[in-house]
A and B are shown apart, each in its own frame.
Chain A
Amino acid sequence: MSFINYSSREIHCKIVYYGPGLCGKTTNLQYIYAKTNPEAKGKMISLATETERTLFFDFLPLSLGDIRGFRTRFHLYTVPGQVFYDASRKLILKGVDGVVFVADSQIERMEANLESMENLRVNLSEQGYNLDNLPYVIQYNKRDLPNAASIEELHRLLNPKNVPEFQAIASTGWGVFDTLKAIAKLVLQELKKGAR
């Protein structure tokens, strides 16, 4: 649910990075944080365990510039990917405006990808959302790994609805901003549609 503030002339949108454990959601945010001008970003918050696994969420506020006199602010969140943190994942989806599904390209992680995607669908519907009506993109991460599945295979299994998809190596940043731009654009287009 976007938030339009006429008083401060700002528009806030919430984007959630979803995906199985260790797929690179936090790495996406860390790269965005590292490569963004200080004036365009806030502090990045990571609620993680001692072994740096996300416990609750990561949060990164980002400012993208002005549209028609309104400053666009995106709040990027990640969910904890590990299966047993499902209760936390549900909470973070509240009020979401757009979803990035980060898939782990490794063949061994295909089942985890599918399980996480199904979990996303279920958790969204519990909040009254339908993934098919929500701004939504998929990122195939870890393209540099030797055991990465082919794009055709990933597409066939994870993207039957043909939503925008991107290849990425989040640790080097390749594909990270393409993904972010795509979801931000979709969210703004949705806002425009909703305003009519």
Chain B
Amino acid sequence: MVSPQFVMYEEEYQQIAAVCDQLCRESNSKVVFLVDKNGQLLASAGQTENLDTTSLASLTAGNIAATGGLAKLIGEREFSILFHEGERDNLHISIVGGRVILVVIFDNRSSLGLVRLRVKKASQQLGAIMEQLNRKIQSASVGSPFAEITDEDIDNLFKD
């Protein structure tokens, strides 16, 4: 198996959420979210109430995977920044630490320049947190909650 599982702990989640919050405020954007390359939403900030963040996460990961495939075809390792311009809202997507994807949704109250600038700073902070998280996962000092589950627990999920 490639890598067994990805774990998010409370401590790192709080740190990541704080960085996303700060980025959202400082870049004057509507929404910021962080997704892992497999399409799992890690954290979000801003006006997320009317957004289907699960779908956004999955499509963002699909988008990055597809452009990554394109990059390889022309001899690039990856395209680390993608920008989609809409009539009202724009999407700025960047890869952080080669592993997670940072997405910023912004409108004309911000600008691409400002978003890029703030994203750069946030990426460094997020990269450091992700590294810390990786070390923690690898040392696996915290036991998995699933070591103790029984077949009965699993069967109970499927009772009609």
Cross-chain contact of B66 among A88, A128, A188, A196 (Cβ < 8 A): A88
Query: Which 9 pairs, one residue from A and one from B, show the smallest C-beta to C-beta distance?
Result: A95-B38, A195-B144, A7-B13, A91-B65, A195-B147, A195-B146, A128-B2, A5-B8, A2-B5
Query: In the assembled complex, which residues on chain B have CB atoms less than 8 Å from the CB atom of A191?
Result: 5, 146, 149
B76, CB-defined interface residue at 8 Å: no
Q: Is the CB of B146 within 8 A of A11?
A: yes
Grouping DSSP codes into helix (H, G, I), strand (E, B) and loop, the A interface class, with mixed when no group exceeds half, is: mixed
Query: In the assembled complex, which residues on chain A have CB atoms less than 8 Å from the CB atom of B6?
Result: 1-4
Q: What is the bound-complex CA distance between A108 and B58, given in angstroms?
A: 35
A72, CB-defined interface residue at 8 Å: yes
Query: In the assembled complex, which residues on chain A have CB atoms less than 8 Å from the CB atom of B66?
Result: 56, 88, 91
Grouping DSSP codes into helix (H, G, I), strand (E, B) and loop, the B interface class, with mixed when no group exceeds half, is: mixed
Query: In the assembled complex, which residues on chain B have CB atoms less than 8 Å from the CB atom of A61?
Result: 54-55, 58
Excluding A3-B6, A129-B2, A195-B144, 20 further A-B contacts by CB distance (< 8 Å) are A1-B3, A1-B6, A3-B40, A4-B5, A6-B8, A7-B8, A43-B55, A57-B62, A61-B54, A67-B154, A68-B148, A68-B153, A90-B69, A92-B65, A128-B1, A188-B154, A189-B154, A192-B149, A194-B5, A195-B146
| 12 sample A-B contacts, Cβ–Cβ < 8 Å, listed by A number | A2-B6, A7-B10, A43-B55, A61-B54, A65-B156, A67-B157, A68-B149, A90-B69, A181-B158, A191-B146, A192-B154, A195-B147
Query: Which residues of A come within 8 Å of B, CB atoms?
Result: 1-8, 11-12, 14, 42-43, 45, 47, 56-57, 59, 61, 64-65, 67-70, 72, 75, 87-88, 90-92, 94-95, 127-129, 133, 181, 184-185, 188-189, 191-192, 194-196
Q: Is the CB of B153 within 8 A of A6?
A: no
Query: In the assembled complex, which residues on chain A have CB atoms less than 8 Å from the CB atom of B39?
Result: 14, 59, 75, 95
Q: What is the bound-complex CA distance between A94 and B1, given in angstroms?
A: 12
Q: Is the CB of B55 within 8 A of A192?
A: no
Query: In the assembled complex, which residues on chain B have CB atoms less than 8 Å from the CB atom of A195?
Result: 143-147
Cross-chain contact of B54 among A5, A42, A94, A185 (Cβ < 8 A): A42
How would residues 1 to 17 of chain B score, 1 for a CB under 8 Å from any chain A CB and 0 otherwise? 11111111110011000
Nearest residue, chain B, Cβ from A130: B1
Query: In the assembled complex, which residues on chain B have CB atoms less than 8 Å from the CB atom of A56?
Result: 62, 66
Query: Which residues of B come within 8 Å of A, CB atoms?
Result: 1-10, 13-14, 36-40, 42, 52, 54-55, 58-59, 62, 65-66, 68-69, 143-149, 151, 153-158
Q: Is the CB of A65 within 8 A of B3?
A: no
Q: Is the CB of A87 within 8 A of B69?
A: yes
Query: In the assembled complex, which residues on chain A have CB atoms less than 8 Å from the CB atom of B13?
Result: 5-8
Q: Is the CB of A192 within 8 A of B62?
A: no
Q: What is the bound-complex CA distance between A185 and B122, given in angstroms?
A: 39
Query: In the assembled complex, which residues on chain A have CB atoms less than 8 Å from the CB atom of B14?
Result: 7
Cross-chain contact of B10 among A6, A57, A59, A87 (Cβ < 8 A): A6
Q: Is the CB of A14 within 8 A of B38?
A: yes
Nearest residue, chain B, Cβ from A97: B5
Nearest residue, chain A, Cβ from B147: A195
